[in-house]
Amino acid sequence: MKNLPAPAVVDFGRLRVACSSCSLRELCLPAGLEAREMEKIDRLVNQRRRVRKGEHLYRAGAPLAALYAIRSGFMKSCVLYEDGREQVAGFHMMGDLLGMDAIGGGRHMSDTVALEDCEVCEIPFPVLQRLSREVPSLQHQLHRVMSREIVRDYGVMLLLGSMKAEERLAAFLLNLSQRFSARGYSPTEFNLRMTRQEIGSYLGLKLETVSRSFSAFQEQKLIKVRQRHVCILDLAGLRAMLGPPR
């Protein structure tokens, strides 16, 4: 939550940002827009913001000011009880759009925290509303993104409601793999940005169980893990963990 320490060279806040020249435009909110429409969209993002590891992008209860698109870095969102229990509701990476939980009530309903230094594009919500009226395909795109979030949540329910520990972890790894792949990174080798505890919270398991499942997969030669570094050795085998075992 601190300000920039010493605007090293570039002041991101002032930097002119344009979706039309962003390398993530095919993954992010403007995906699928035509060049003509993209121009109008460039007014959408008024500034970038840095979020340092451990800092909050927003907290539950904070009024909705903007939605955020991740430019770089990794984040988690959590929902909390009154009594302090915390449940990780999702992990987010570049191209993901955050903050949609706040549209309904005008206040954020989750905490979103950077798991490593991040850079996000700030999209003032009123601007987004106005522009999406003017640019029908932006409107449609926004609806698509929200809808996909709903579908993603259904997937998590399925996972939490009917899968057992190792299935959950396999699904988690495959999901990460697929998302890294879609962003041009290796689908089989990556670094986890979250702790075993955070993975466990997301999967509805204790950290020990997560750790044991990792070890079991390694035993079966499905993956190779060392701390946060994961290598998927047998993608098909990992997929097979999901279906058959009733």
Partner DNA sequence: CGCGTCCCTTGATATAGGTCAAATTGAGGA
Partner DNA sequence: TCCTCAATTTGACCTATATCAAGGGACGCG
Chain residues that interact with DNA, rule: CB under 7 A: 164-166, 192, 195-197, 204-212, 214-215, 225-228
241 Cβ contact list (under 8 Å, min separation 6): 166, 167, 170, 222
Min dist. Cβ of residue 31 to a second copy (A): 12
Query: Of 49 and 206, which has the nearer Cβ to DNA?
Result: 206
**What are the CA-CA distances from residue 31 to residues 22, 110, 182 (Å)?**
11, 26, 13
In 70-107, which positions are buried (b, 16+ CB within 10 angstroms) versus exposed (e)? bbebbbbbbeeeeeeeeebbbbbbbbbbbbbbbbeeee
Among 36, 161, 219, 226, binds a second copy (CB under 8 A): 161
Alpha-carbon radius of gyration of the chain: 19
Rounded to a whole number of angstroms, the minimum distance from the CB of residue 95 to DNA is: 24
219: Cβ contacts below 8 Å, ≥ 6 apart: none
Instruction: Supply the minimum distance, in Å, between the C-beta of residue 157 and a second copy.
Output: 5
Of positions 3, 8, 35, 81, contacts a second copy by CB under 8 A: 81
145 binds a second copy (CB under 8 A): yes
- Between 233 and 235, name the residue whose CB sits nearer to a second copy: 235
197 binds, among a second copy, DNA, none (CB under 5 to 8 A by kind): DNA
Whose Cβ is closer to a second copy: residue 17's or residue 141's? 141
Instruction: Select from 9-17, 18-26, 40-48, 85-93 the region that touches a second copy (CB under 8 A).
Output: 85-93
Partner touching 226 among a second copy, DNA, none, CB below 5 to 8 Å by kind: DNA
Both structure tokens of 124: 């003032």
Beta strand pairing status for 66-72 and 118-124?
antiparallel
Q: Which does 157 bind (CB under 5 to 8 A by kind): a second copy, DNA, none?
A: a second copy
Contact 174, 239 (CB under 8 A): yes
160 or 225: whose CB is closer to a second copy?
A: 160
150 binds, among DNA, a second copy, none (CB under 5 to 8 A by kind): a second copy
Give the interface with a second copy as residue ranges (CB under 8 A).
Answer: 79, 81-83, 85-87, 89, 100-105, 109-110, 129, 132-133, 136, 139-140, 142-151, 153-158, 160-162, 201-204, 242-244, 246
